[in-house]
A and B are shown apart, each in its own frame.
Chain A
Amino acid sequence: EVLLVESGGGLVQPGGSLRLSCAASGFTFSSYWMHWVRQAPGKGLVWVSRINLDGSSTNSADSVKGRFTISRDNAKNTLYLQMNSLRAGDTAVYYCARGFYGSSSDYWGQGTLVTVSS
């Protein structure tokens, strides 16, 4: 069974940092692109970032470029999102998702809530 379990969310002050993790199991992690997608409370889905199989190539939304860094550790079957210079507008549930046919995501975690507030 494919499982994606996010962790690391919580309350952080504006300007602070947080690192999210996504533990993957039930599939060959190193064979899939991975994505982070976020959803502010009561709002729609927003794509954040993606990473290729070995971590050598990443893409990110303009809204997080220069502040967020996606990475992966294939030996640990874990995806990461390092978030710096956090703003109130970054408050959201953050989902990790497995890439499917390049641009889709077929399995999603349950999400982890990040709240940026003083």
Chain B
Amino acid sequence: QSALTQPASVSGSPGQSITISCTGTSSDVGGYDYVSWYQQLPGKAPKLMIYEVNNRPSGVSNRFSGSKSGNTASLTISGLQAEDEAYYYCSSFTSSSTLVFGGGTKLTVL
């Protein structure tokens, strides 16, 4: 199972919006509404930000939103804040009943 494709890095200024893409295939992202997004700060465990494409767990800011079109899912962060600087990973359920992560995207807040 190949990793999902994410950009290595994205950046934005405080207050701006950014979008991170996550591209897979019809056997994973495109075939199921089981895409999740995680935020990972250096030296910390991942934190769930979005589940099932566009749902936020309790306690996650509504500045974070998810969507999907075909084989590509996206995470959008609006009103960018310094504290959002982190690595972001997408994951998806697959047709083999396994899970697969993306390679990760480093978000830099300028």
Binding site for B on A (CB under 8 A): 35, 37, 44-47, 50, 59-62, 95, 97, 100-106, 108-111
Name 16 interchain pairs, CB-CB below 8 A, sorted by A. A37-B101, A44-B102, A46-B101, A47-B91, A50-B98, A59-B97, A61-B1, A62-B1, A100-B48, A103-B93, A103-B99, A104-B52, A105-B48, A106-B48, A106-B57, A111-B45
Q: Interface size for chain B: under 10, 10 to 19, 20 to 34, or 35 or more residues?
A: 20 to 34
Chain B facing A: main interface SS: strand
The answer to whether B79 has its CB under 8 Å from any CB of chain A is no
Chain A facing B: main interface SS: strand
B contact residues around A105 at 8 Å (CB): 36, 46, 48
B contact residues around A103 at 8 Å (CB): 32, 34, 36, 51-52, 91-93, 99
Binding site for A on B (CB under 8 A): 1, 3, 32, 34, 36, 38, 40, 45-48, 51-52, 55, 57, 87, 89, 91-93, 96-104
- A102-B34 in contact (CB<8A): yes
A contact residues around B104 at 8 Å (CB): 44-45
Query: B87's closest neighbor in chain A, by CB?
Result: A44
- A50-B99 in contact (CB<8A): yes
